[in-house]
Amino acid sequence: MSTEDLDALLERMPKIAEAVNGFNSEAVQQEAFSSLVAAFGGHHRKSHVQPPKPAEQNPALEEQQSEPQRGTETVSSPPPTSQQKRRKKGGGNSNGWSPVDIDLHPENEQSFEDFIAEKQPTNDQERYAVVVYYLEETLKLNPITMNEIGTVFRRTNAWKEPTNLRSGLQNAAFRKLYIDVSNMSNIKITTAGRNFVRRELPHKASK
């Protein structure tokens, strides 16, 4: 190979190396390198110049890539609120609520058992009004959610637990207007519901 050919070959060597590194097999790389060098040199023979080996990953770079990216911090959850602390340890409910810890026999207040014995609600719509009224007016809970209402039904032996609490609450709200469920995370007794519980329960006996 003449000096001019050698200079031309060396000038093209970076492109040859780039093309050779495009193959995964070392045998294929060897053959491709020899063919390219021979094509530039005019003779199809193996060159004594070894093809560049595929770039090896820097061990330090591998370790760096395996670690979580620096500069990102794990955001911890905020501490639970007083309402969240009322949640019972363990299991949820297929109806979309979870039982919570409620004192239905508060000190110096009428117990819920005595309250329903006094008011004597006769159907679920009236029971929802009585429950929300008691939670809001007697226990002073705020906010009131399906968790608290479902818990009261579950702990009242004389009542059946609703099969679909959300639907029952919505029916009571839309048909009787006793409760406000526009925000299921903050259920309230309405003025109509408050008057109903205070003045119309228990029902007067028919003459």
Question: Which one of 3-12, 16-25, 34-43, 154-163 scores highest in mean pLDDT?
Answer: 154-163
Q: Residue 188 sits in which domain range?
A: 88-200
For residue 110, what is the domain's CATH number? 1.10.10
Asked if pLDDT for residue 55 goes beyond 70, the answer is: no
Clarify whether residues 112 and 11 are in a common domain: no
- Quote the pLDDT of residue 20: 62
- Dihedral, 108, 111, 117, 118 alpha carbons, nearest 10: 30
Residue 58: inside a domain: no
Residue 99: inside a domain: yes
SS3 assignment, position 151: helix
Clarify whether residues 118 and 178 are in a common domain: yes
Q: Which long-range contacts (CB under 8 A, 24 or more apart) does 4-7 make?
A: 5/40, 5/41, 5/42
Q: Which of 11, 2, 5, 9 is nearest to 34 (CA)?
A: 9
